[in-house]
Chains A and B, each alone.
Chain A
Amino acid sequence: MSVLPIRRQTMVEGDIDLSKLERRLREPRTLINAALNWLVAGLTVLAMVPLFSVIFMLLWRGGQRLGIALFTELPPGAGMVGGGIGNALLGTVIMVGIATLLSVPVGILGGIYLAEFGPNTKTASVVRFAAKVLTGLPSVIAGVFVYALVVTTMGTFSALAGGVALSILMLPTIILTAEDAIRMVPHRMREAAIGMGCTQTQAILKVILPTARPGILTGVMLAVARAAGETAPLLFTALFSDYWIRRLHEPSASLAVIIYDFSGQPYPNLIEIAWAASLVLVLIVLGLNIAAQFYLRKSFTK
Chain B
Amino acid sequence: MDTHDHAPTPATIKPAAPAPVPANGAHANGNGNGHSIVEVKLKALYYGSFKAVRDTDLAIKRNAITAFIGPSGCGKSTVLRSINRMNDLVRGFRFDGHIHFRGRDIYDTKIDPVAVRRHIGMVFQQPNPFAMSIYRNVTFGLRLNGYKGNIQDKVEQALRGSALWDEVKEKLHQSGLALSGGQQQRLCIARAIATEPEVLLMDEPCSALDPVATRKIEELMLELKKRFTIITVTHNLQQAKRVADMTGFLYVDTTQGARTGYLVEYGPTEGIFNDPKEKHTKDYIQGAFS
Contacts and interface: CB of A to CB of B under 8 A. Distances in A.
Interface in A106-123: none
A282 interface: no
B115 interface: yes
Contacts of B126: 188
Given A194-B86, A197-B114, A302-B175, A189 B130 contact: yes
Contacts of B195: 196-197
B144 A206 contact: yes
Contacts of A207: 130
A264 to B, nearest CB: 51
Residue among A191, A192, A207 facing the most chain B CB atoms (10 A cut-off) = A192
Contacts of B131: 189, 210-211, 302
Interface residues of B, number: 26
B144 A196 contact: yes
A302 B129 CA distance: 13
Nearest to A187: B128
Contact of A192 (B118, B124, B145): B124
A105 interface: no
B209 to A, nearest CB: 15
B165 interface: no
Contacts of A186: 128
Nearest to B118: A197
Nearest to B88: A194
Interface string A200-218: 0010001100110000000
Contacts of B115: 197
A195 interface: yes
Nearest to B188: A192
B84 interface: yes
B19 interface: no
Contact of B128 (A189, A197, A210): A189
A198 interface: yes
A211 B177 CA distance: 12
Contact of A191 (B118, B124, B129, B192): B124
For A191, A197, A202, A302, the residue with the greatest tally of chain B CB atoms inside 10 Å of its CB is A197
A135 B188 CA distance: 41
Interface string B29-70: 000000000000000000000000000000000000000000
B144 A197 contact: yes
Nearest to A199: B114
Contacts of B141: 196-197
B86 A196 contact: no
Nearest to A198: B144
A69 B65 CA distance: 76
Given A189-B128, A191-B89, A194-B89, A302 B177 contact: yes
Interface of B: 84, 86, 89, 114-115, 117-118, 121-122, 124, 126, 128-132, 140-141, 144-145, 175, 177, 188, 191-192, 195
CB-based closest 6 A-B pairs: A197-B118, A188-B128, A195-B122, A197-B117, A192-B128, A211-B131
Interface of A: 186, 188-199, 202, 206-207, 210-211, 302
11 contacts: A191-B124, A192-B188, A194-B89, A195-B117, A195-B124, A195-B192, A196-B191, A196-B192, A197-B144, A199-B114, A206-B140
